[in-house]
Chains A and B, each alone.
Chain A
């Protein structure tokens, strides 16, 4: 298989397979988790303003008092790379074009220089959180192979995308093929690893917020 064939494969069958596994995997996993259900709370509720599942979904995006100081890299690195990823994935013109071709939806893009900058910053933030994971005793203690693996499959699409756009190291076609391939790997593993938190975190926050709202505590 030469690079053109590879590119054709990743753009055609490869992409379909990846999206298929991603969608079916996601639906299956959501079913597996949420079909477990839960019991109704029979105690008399207490009502307090600002306490609800929805409130917690929003509130948990901010660092609770004192936490930023205790773990600055987690928060700052975390914000930067999550926001950076969102910019790179959703506001880069070629990505929007692809989404338009696939689903018919489109929105304005950011200038490519801005996306370039966001990419570099995202990569840097990801390296920083990786170093932090290795350095910080608690993070290192909790980390499993999966944590490093999921880091890598998230990092590679950003890196290869940047290298393709900048024509670095390998010819554009090859790099683009690798970029798409790496995205497909990401899509395939997402439902089955901790990357699935992109979906479950909203429900987790909601459950926690709702259970504590029942007691009148905004969490």
Chain B
């Protein structure tokens, strides 16, 4: 047994709690979870059955925590988990799982399978079986500040650009502001419109807000890869920034995993509740809408549909808000099949989009989105996650579908009523 394998197994032993034990004990091998997972439905390959992705973890559970399993291990009936086996499982745990959690919604005995995949990744990463692409993303976030290597000067350049374009001042490190706005590198690099949209919306709502020079990046690849220690370092930056600036609310950007990391995992990583609130930008916009602080004019007339980012809808509980906002600015809003919490993943979540080894498979499973889109005949796709957006764009391009993908926040900003 190698030292890293030892460590990995030790981590996994620690990860196993009563829910995981209960889930493994409950599984009846009905295979229904496969029917919920796009990696199975689009390939037909049974190895992509969600619960099968956890087989090494199940064996460790059995061998370490059950009487019969311990006996079987003692007399050599049950083989210990090996490095080769974990290496073979890398494809299943990382390349073919987006942590979308659709499987957790259908298992008839109630297993929260994604919860287990997430924990399994902790042991995989420690034992050295995480994909290089993800390792790079985490290292860059820790060392430079963002997974794509974006540094503060890039943000400042963008602030200036937006200021020049909109004539609105972009506040940085303003103490006591109500909102602290986070960005994702994707937005800084690829969707500069986001920052401008926020500036306009905040101005219209009359709210104070700020960026934070020590914590502008919300993406947390530590969560995706499964290294809690690193995830904690990243979250801590944001917590320190928010507490230093004494803001009331931190706004998670249009990035699903950033939201999950900040909204749900963060407090558990740092071991205490936050002193501030965390909201996704769509929650903030919907709040403004219901308070009459968000005024729009005009409607899009082309047929549009909304892609629920998994981490926002199914994993985050933000389902109504995007619909309210869509209806504010579109006339022909159509829902794809299985909207809201049952939505099908874009195929690039959970670090899959940062993982080159997974690219071919990702494009193959995109067939599900293609079908969904064709069924409703939407001409524009709206979403609220910069990662989904890139993945959707790539998928659409691959299948030669001429459908633009836009962020909901920008769409709203485009329809803001001018100042009186």
Give the chain A neighbours of B34 by CB distance below 8 A. Answer: 138
Query: B414 to nearest A CB, angstroms?
Result: 29
Q: Are B52 and A141 in contact (CB under 8 A)?
A: yes
Say whether, besides A44-B274, A201-B26, A37 and B317 are in contact (CB < 8 Å): no
CA distance A218 to B342 in the complex (A): 11
Contact indicator per residue, chain A 104-138, by CB within 8 Å of chain B (1) or not (0): 00000000000000000000000000000000111
> Which listed residue, A41, A139, A141, A144, touches B30 by the CB 8 Å rule?
A139
- Is the beta-carbon distance between A64 and B22 smaller than 8 angstroms? no
Flag if A217 contacts B315 (CB, 8 Å).
yes
**Interface pair A33/B112, CB less than 8 Å apart:** no
A150 to B66, CA, bound (A): 19
B112:A208 contact, CB within 8 angstroms: yes
Instruction: Flag the segment in A155-163, A172-180, A191-199 that touches B.
Output: A191-199
B residues apposed to A, CB below 8 Å: 16-23, 25-32, 34-36, 40, 44, 46-47, 49, 51-52, 65-68, 104-112, 115, 263-268, 271-274, 277-278, 314-317, 337-338, 341-342
Q: CA–CA, A28 to B65, complex, Å?
A: 12
By a CB distance below 8 angstroms, the chain B residues around A74 are 30-32
Bound together, the chains give a CA A39 to CA B19 distance in angstroms of 10
Contacts A33-B22, A36-B17, A197-B27 given: A70-B35 contact, CB under 8 Å?
A: yes
Contacts of A67 in B (CB 8 A): 32, 35-36, 106
A78 touches B110 (CB 8 A): no
Tell whether A201 pairs with B31 under 8 Å between CB atoms, given A33-B22, A43-B273, A215-B315.
Answer: no
In the bound complex, residues from chain A placing their C-beta under 8 Å from that of B68 are: 192
Give the complex CA separation of A136 and B32 in angstroms: 11
Task: Check B110 against A194 for contact (C-beta < 8 Å).
Answer: no
Given known pairs A32-B66, A200-B22, A208-B112, the reply for A216 and B317 (CB within 8 Å) is yes
A65 contacts across to B, CB distance below 8 A: 338, 342
What residues of B have a CB within 8 angstroms of the CB of A32 in the complex?
A: 21, 65-67
Q: Which residue of B lies closest to A205 (CB)?
A: B110
Complexed CA–CA distance, A175 and B29 (Å): 32
Q: Which 8 A-B pairs have the closest CB atoms?
A: A205-B110, A216-B317, A141-B46, A138-B31, A42-B267, A208-B112, A204-B110, A207-B19
Structural contact, B19 and A38, CB atoms closer than 8 A: yes
The binding surface of chain A is classed by DSSP as helix
Residues of B within 8 A of A70 (CB): 35
Report which of B22, B31, B67, B109 forms a contact with A139, defined as CB distance below 8 A.
B31
A16 close to chain B: CB less than 8 A:
no
Given the interface pairs A38-B19, A65-B342, A137-B46, the reply to whether A142 lies near B268 with Cβ below 8 Å is no
Task: Tell me the bound Cα distance from A218 to B66 in angstroms.
Answer: 32
Q: How far is the CB of B31 from chain A (nearest CB, A)?
A: 4
Q: Which of B25, B49, B105, B263 contacts A197 (CB 8 A)?
A: B25
Q: Which residues of A contact B66 (CB under 8 A)?
A: 29, 32
Given known A-B contacts A43-B273, A138-B46, A36 and B18 have beta carbons under 8 A apart: yes
Contacting residues, chain B, for A143 (C-beta < 8 A): 29
Q: Which residues of A contact B106 (CB under 8 A)?
A: 64, 67
Across the interface, A219 reaches (CB within 8 A) one of B22, B104, B264, B268, namely: B104
Among the interface residues B22, B25, B28, B44, which one has the most CB atoms of the partner chain A within 10 A? Answer: B22
Which residues in chain A, 64-81, are within 8 Å of chain B measured between CB atoms? 64-67, 70-71, 74, 78
7 pairs, CB–CB < 8 Å, chain A vs chain B: A60-B108, A64-B106, A194-B29, A203-B22, A204-B112, A208-B115, A211-B19
Q: Which of the residues B16, B44, B271 comes within 8 Å of A42, measured between beta carbons?
A: B271
Chain A nearest CB: distance from B151 CB in Å?
A: 30
Contact of A217 among B17, B23, B26, B341 (CB under 8 A): B341
Q: Which of B27, B40, B108 gathers most chain A CB within 10 Å? A: B108
In the bound complex, CA of A70 to CA of B21 (Å): 28
- The yes or no answer to A209 lying at the interface (CB within 8 A) is yes
Question: A60-B108, A139-B31 in contact; A43/B26 too (CB < 8 A)?
Answer: no
How many Å lie between the Cα of A56 and that of B337 in the bound state?
A: 23
Contact B109 A204 (CB under 8 A): yes
Residues of B within 8 A of A2 (CB): none
In the complex formed, the residue of A with least CB distance to B69 is A32
Q: Answer whether residue A34 sits at the interface, using C-beta atoms and an 8 A cutoff.
A: yes
| Bound CA–CA A33/B47 (angstroms) | 27
Q: A138-B40, A207-B110 are in contact. Are A38 and B317 (CB under 8 A)?
A: no
Specify which chain A residues have a CB less than 8 angstroms from the CB of B29 in the assembled complex.
139, 142-144, 147, 194
A41-B268, A197-B27 known; A205 vs B32 contact (CB < 8 Å): no
Q: Which residues of A contact B32 (CB under 8 A)?
A: 67, 71, 74
Q: Which of A144, A208, A215, A217 contacts B110 (CB 8 A)?
A: A208
Is there a chain B Cβ closer than 8 Å to A48's Cβ?
A: yes
Identify the closest chain B residue to A56 (Cβ).
B110
Residue of B nearest to A70 (CB): B35
* A36 contacts B65, C-beta separation under 8 Å: yes
Selected from A33, A192, A201, A218, the residue in CB contact (under 8 A) with B18 is A33
**Shortest distance in angstroms between A73's beta carbon and chain B's nearest beta carbon?**
10
- Give chain B residues whose Cβ lies under 8 Å from the Cβ of A57: 110
Q: Counting CB contacts under 8 A, is A101 at the interface?
A: no
* A46 contacts partner chain B, Cβ-Cβ < 8 Å: yes
Q: What separation, in Å, do the CA atoms of A43 and B29 have in the docked complex?
A: 33
